[in-house]
Amino acid sequence: MNIIKIYRDAFSGLNQDIWLITVVMFVNRLGTLILPFITLYTTQEIGWTKPQAGIAVACFGAGSLAGSYLGGWLTDKIGYYKVFLFSLIGGGLAYYMLQFFTSYLALSLGLFVASTIADLLRPALYTGIRFFTNDNTQTRAVSLLRMAFNLGFIIGPAIGGVIIALTSYKWIFILDAFTCWGAAIMTYFLIKDYSHKQFENKEEEIDKPIEVKNPYRDKPYLLFLFYSMLMLIGFFQILFTVPLYLEEIAHFSTDQIGFFFGINGALVFILEMPLVQYVDKRKIIMKAMVAGSVMIGFGLLALISQSYILLSLAVFLLLSGVGEIVNFPFISTTALKRATDQNSGKMLAMTSVMFSISLIIAPPLGTMILEHYGYTVLWVIMAALCFISAIGLQSVRQYFKTV
């Protein structure tokens, strides 16, 4: 009964717009097919070395960085809704074209362009959330969206692994494109456009001498983003070097790797809303984020043991999954709470930029360490980054008392 009440309380108070955009994002995230398999695709199908694959995937991260910055700027200029739609339509086209690129330069450039267009969506999405929610529902709205992401991440990679095993890699590019276009169609017909509120608020304030916080000079927030980035570099190994570990050390097939990602997504899907509700209600967000970074670090260290490989993977899934839950939603929530109508695009873009920089650094760093020093050194270094992140987040806690 208590568990039912926790879930009921977690979902209460969220309006119809949030539920609709959650469905749209679920459809979009069903296409999470390329990223979990890109290192396997480039090393096994095309024949690249691991460092080459890491650098190419870093181009995806660089595109994410460019898209996040450009998306924030465009959101403040033309409104979140237009940016959101363009990102889904253009991103689908870019993903579809990736199947035709096999040379190192062409695929690397293609990943950059696809990611740039696709990640215009992030600042636009979270800016839109500000108009669908209030201070009491923002964190839960972000978590509900993440539930949609994770449900898509349960189904998408599992389907992708089976499709690759039965057909070929090209179909993951095609399906990723069609999920983007499906989400765009649903957005156009189902989601209300509140972009006018952005500009109405600005017009109301145009003659008022208000002080708009410059997010680029918000030192506590910049430190917060930096320490979060260290944790993300470690965590994102789940996308880049963990699939190689599963194939080379655990001897998993592609459909088993997809199932592994499905278990991770299921864990997060089941536990996120009640855990987030618990943390948010007790105002212990920063404490939870510190604990989450520590858990992700210990999860990575669990992979060092290869004697009981399935047990090691189970510990990794549990610790990294719970660590993700008590970190990722609150990174976005912190940005939402510090943002204003005048700087929301830039503030939320900075969060997306931090994620993107992590995606640039994580693949080449991880694959290069793996190539030269092996898995044990890789997990130790990545765990160390998570522990440093925890220490850093603890040091800036005093500046985030409201969260």
Superfamily of domain covering 15-201+217-400: MFS general substrate transporter like domains (1.20.1250.20)
Q: Are 273 and 144 in contact (CB under 8 A)?
A: yes
Q: Are 220 and 399 in contact (CB under 8 A)?
A: yes
Give the pLDDT score at 328: 86
**How many helical (H) and strand (E) elements, i.e. helices and strands, does the chain have?**
19, 0
Give the pLDDT score at 210: 45
Give the pLDDT score at 372: 93
Cα separations (Å) of 6 from 76, 241, 280, 288, 290?
37, 36, 13, 18, 24
The whole-angstrom separation of Cα 209 and Cα 18 is 33
Successive 10-residue mean pLDDT values, the chain, 403 residues:
67 83 89 81 89 88 88 87 94 94 92 93 85 77 82 82 88 93 94 72 50 71 94 94 93 89 84 83 88 97 93 95 89 76 70 85 93 96 98 88 58
Per domain, the residue ranges of the chain are 15-201+217-400
Closest Cα to residue 359, out of 30, 68, 59, 91? 59
Which DSSP symbol is given to 114? H
Give the pLDDT score at 402: 55
In degrees and rounded to multiples of 5, residue 213 shows phi and psi of -65, 130
